[in-house]
Amino acid sequence: MGEHPSPGPAVAACAEAERIEELEPEAEERPPAEDHWKVLFDQFDPGNTGFISTGKFRSLLDSHSAKLDPHKREVLLALADSHANGQICYQDFVNLMSNKRSNSFRQAILQGNRRLCSKALLEEKGLNLSQRLIRHVAYETLPREIDRKWYYDSYTCCPPPWFMITVTLLEVAFFLYNGVSLGQFVLQVTHPRYLKNSLVYHPQLRAQAWRYLTYIFMHAGIEHLGLNVVLQLLVGVPLEMVHGATRIGLVYVAGVVAGSLAVSVADMTAPVVGSSGGVYALVSAHLANIVMNWSGMKCQFKLLRMAVALICMSMEFGRAVWLRFHPSAYPPCPHPSFVAHLGGVAVGITLGVVVLRNYEQRLQDQSLWWIFVAMYTVFVLFAVFWNIFAYTLLDLKLPPPP
């Protein structure tokens, strides 16, 4: 996305510290990774206590202030001041110099944030188009100014938001292929051959496990595909730019699987098509994050944006409900279910909210994350056993396979 015209208002990269020659061993003798930071730290901690006193640390920074990013200097001092005994520990030193985030680091920054008196990111002038886009994404998705500055300074567009773009392109490609082969682009689901596709989830074929995921590549028609694509590009791509493909992919796939499993439990005779489970997981998580952090979200027209997203979701959900109860083109099999939407929402306001709230922190350290993972796992296991035994026990009459 290009280089910033001047050092950003947040924490600079570790390369700045590497230019302080007096603090470094010679390049050919430099130890690897954290051993390097340990050597530097031990120079000012001869007693090997694991801490540097605030006074010694201030003297160190003052003596090299001309060669150190002033924002990094301020944050280091904020870290030191955040400790009750006026010392900075080795791990905080490593986290800052290696550009890592941790819970202790976040707390230290928040407690010492009064020292970070640089102007708000919105007041930065002279930004090019790509920099304004990054700033816009930061304000759209992150509620804390320190996180927005950190993201703005560190984002490199490498890797790009490939997950959402790839999924969207695949969905469009499959739709176009089906449109040509069926000779129908509007309400494709009414075509007699539509359910014969091996990607659609069908209750009689529920033993074919891939169908619980691949149904996202089959849409009921261009009106169905259009709304899903718009939502996942407008919401999913910015979220992936901030939180990365791993986190956003996890929420999306969890919503997709929860959607098909929810249909298999609550609407047992209906097939499932469309990516609404994953899309609704992302959108509902994003909207819930905005509501929970309303005062901190500084995006323009946030109320209008929420209204537009809710209107689009309501239109798509209403279309799905109408279609479910519309006379089927191939009785006795009904049209696709709308319950997958609800499964996606449930994932979004549980797993999704935790993922979006904990920007650049390890989810493994979050107790609420583990609670929701346990709940999701229990639901999946319940749905699997339900699919194995419930249909026989209930003696349910299923529509014939396509």
3-class secondary structure, 51? strand
Q: Which residues pair with 88 in a beta bridge?
A: 52
Catalytic residue among 36, 71, 243, 341: 341
Active site residue 341: yes
For residue 36, give Cα distances in angstroms to 20, 39, 79, 101, 120. 13, 5, 20, 19, 34
For residue 359, give Cα distances in angstroms to 103, 148, 207, 252, 344. 11, 10, 38, 17, 21
Asked if residue 229 lies in contact with residue 165, where contact means CB atoms within 8 angstroms, the answer is: no
Active site residue 276: yes
What are the backbone dihedrals phi and psi of residue 101, each rounded to the nearest 5 degrees, phi first? Answer: -120, 145
Number of other CB atoms surrounding residue 230 within 10 Å: 15
Strands (E), 68-201: 87-89
How many Å apart are CA 282 and CA 348, to the nearest integer?
6
First to last CA, the chain: 49
**Distance from chain centroid for Cα 46:** 43
Catalytic residue among 82, 276, 284, 337: 276
- Short-list 254, 262, 261, 260, CA closest to 278: 254
CB neighbour list of residue 355: distance below 8 Å, 6 or more residues apart = 243, 247, 248, 250, 251, 285, 363, 369
Asked if residue 30 lies in contact with residue 24, where contact means CB atoms within 8 angstroms, the answer is: yes
CB neighbour list of residue 349: distance below 8 Å, 6 or more residues apart = 284, 285, 288
How many Å apart are CA 224 and CA 221, to the nearest integer?
5
**Distance from chain centroid for Cα 362:** 13
Calculate Rg over the CA atoms of the chain: 26
State the Cα angle at 258 between 302 and 352, rounded to 5°.
35
How many Å apart are CA 215 and CA 238, to the nearest integer?
24
Fill in the amino acid letter for 399. Answer: P
Q: Which residues are catalytic?
A: 276, 341
